[in-house]
Homo-oligomer: A and B are copies of this chain.
Amino acid sequence: MNGSTFGNIFKITTWGESHGKAIGVVIDGCPAGLSLEEEDIQKFLNRRKPGQSRFTTKRQEADQVQILSGVFEGKTTGTPISLMVSNTDQRSRDYSEIANYYRPGHADLNYDRKYGFRDYRGGGRSSGRETIGRVAAGAVASKILEELGISLCAYTCAIGPVTVDKACFDKEEIFRNPLYMPDAQAAQKAQECLEQAMKETNSLGGMVECIITGVPAGLGEPAFDKLDAALAKAVLSIGAVKGFEIGSGMAAARSNGLENNDAYAVDAQGNLIKKTNHSGGITGGISDGTPIVFRAAFKPTPSIAALQETVNRQGEPIEIQIKGRHDPIIVPRAVVVVESMAALVILDALLASMTTRMDRIKSFFLDKESETRL
């Protein structure tokens, strides 16, 4: 409900719209004593910033973050961390045209029907700029996870018809090409497809994959708050995502039990291992300690310059061509958004898992130095 708050323990609340004064997030429940400075957050924001390549919008937004509260002498205090990014590139152009009709593939009509009217400037709250708060909070969550030995790696695994070849996976390559693909050859082909789409005033969809390693077994809850269900919600809550799959995903539907079950075995060192990971690291909603692997499908950017049919607020059919500086593909800038949402889910589940077992609760409270009771 309400929709702008996410998480239970590490809880974030985002605010702001495309053309308001600023955009931000409040993080409540961040543990005290974490070293944190603006640069930790800025480096995440820079990954989603516009203007990184010819495949992203030419809008210039500095997207410079400010820490307004919750950090004292370089450490988090345990109280709310308020992060804000000012909106600087708000062109005072004429929005009267866009105000008057419903862009196909956008939520214009939906907002009008829901709220009675809408802030039509740049999509208002439905703008991709809403994800700035998510990424800022995701940077903090990722920093905590890192200190606990958990790391996340998201990347583009498909753009339009081009899919990354698993055999060519190169983690270093992700940050070398503008599409965040872990396969140089696929990245090259995808760029060609994008050039072609741009020429045709069209846009492309794509797929993001995320791998999370170092996750302890036991995260997630049995019934409604399964870890994969939480990831699905987190990912589908990103605008433009139309599908989510974990492990073997949609392909599991076409598989059979013998193939899809992950056999347990013992490795040379005597450790229990899984011979495959069709589960994607989660069974019954609970992590098993193997890498978590999921994918998100993004639709093509709906804002295209090609001629489109639509209807205006007066209910008359019209033809439009959307002007402005739009990404021909959402995916590359969305990679860090997916990674951030995943970090928020994993951290929240990790903190929740601390209260699961009597033996661990007892050792937590009874083994501590006795200073805590007067």
User: Which of A2-10, A43-51, A56-64 lies at the binding interface?
Assistant: A2-10
Residues of B contacting A116 in the complex (Cβ-Cβ under 8 angstroms): 32-33, 357, 359
The answer to whether A77 and B119 touch across the interface, beta carbons within 8 angstroms, is: yes
The B-contacting residues of A in range 332-374, CB under 8 angstroms, are 348, 350-362, 364-366, 371-374
Q: Specify which of B205, B285, B352, B353 is in contact with A256 (CB 8 Å cutoff).
A: B205
The answer to whether B252 and A223 touch across the interface, beta carbons within 8 angstroms, is: no
The answer to whether A266 and B311 touch across the interface, beta carbons within 8 angstroms, is: yes
A70 to B160: give the CA distance in the assembly, Å.
Answer: 36
The answer to whether B110 and A286 touch across the interface, beta carbons within 8 angstroms, is: yes
A342 to B222: give the CA distance in the assembly, Å.
Answer: 19
* Contacts A104-B261, A285-B107, A359-B33 given; does A242 touch B237 at CB 8 Å: no
The answer to whether A125 and B2 touch across the interface, beta carbons within 8 angstroms, is: no
Interface residues in A, total, Cβ within 8 A:
178
A21 to B17: give the CA distance in the assembly, Å.
Answer: 22
State the number of copies, please: 4
Answer whether residue A290 sits at the interface, using C-beta atoms and an 8 A cutoff. yes
Q: Specify which of B297, B354, B359 is in contact with A361 (CB 8 Å cutoff).
A: B354
The answer to whether A77 and B125 touch across the interface, beta carbons within 8 angstroms, is: yes
* Contacts A24-B82, A82-B15, A222-B4 given; does A256 touch B298 at CB 8 Å: no
Query: How far apart are A213's CB and chain B's nearest CB, in angstroms?
Result: 9
Answer whether residue A179 sits at the interface, using C-beta atoms and an 8 A cutoff. no
A16 to B221: give the CA distance in the assembly, Å.
Answer: 14
The answer to whether B226 and A115 touch across the interface, beta carbons within 8 angstroms, is: no
Answer whether residue A168 sits at the interface, using C-beta atoms and an 8 A cutoff. no
What are 5 A-B contacts with C-beta separation under 8 Å? A160-B256, A207-B250, A207-B253, A243-B249, A272-B374
The answer to whether B237 and A286 touch across the interface, beta carbons within 8 angstroms, is: no
- Given A31-B356, A225-B237, 19 more contacts at CB 8 Å? A3-B225, A4-B28, A4-B224, A15-B69, A32-B116, A79-B222, A106-B284, A110-B283, A113-B372, A147-B362, A149-B366, A206-B253, A217-B372, A228-B236, A252-B298, A263-B309, A271-B374, A351-B355, A354-B361
A355 to B356: give the CA distance in the assembly, Å.
Answer: 13
Answer whether residue A268 sits at the interface, using C-beta atoms and an 8 A cutoff. no
The answer to whether B257 and A203 touch across the interface, beta carbons within 8 angstroms, is: yes
Query: How far apart are A146's CB and chain B's nearest CB, in angstroms?
Result: 12
The B-contacting residues of A in range 226-248, CB under 8 angstroms, are 226, 228-237, 239, 242-248
The answer to whether B243 and A117 touch across the interface, beta carbons within 8 angstroms, is: no
Residues of B contacting A31 in the complex (Cβ-Cβ under 8 angstroms): 355-358, 361
The answer to whether A8 and B1 touch across the interface, beta carbons within 8 angstroms, is: yes
Answer whether residue A94 sits at the interface, using C-beta atoms and an 8 A cutoff. no
* Contacts A252-B297, A356-B31, A374-B217 given; does A117 touch B75 at CB 8 Å: yes
From A276, which residue of chain B is reached at the shortest CB distance?
B104
Q: Specify which of B14, B149, B244 is in contact with A244 (CB 8 Å cutoff).
A: B244
User: Which of A170-178, A182-190, A299-307 lies at the binding interface?
Assistant: A299-307
* Contacts A5-B28, A161-B254, A272-B311 given; does A216 touch B365 at CB 8 Å: yes
Which 6 pairs across A and B sit closest by C-beta, in order of nearness? A107-B284, A3-B221, A114-B218, A243-B245, A233-B233, A3-B225
* Contacts A78-B114, A161-B254, A288-B110 given; does A26 touch B13 at CB 8 Å: yes
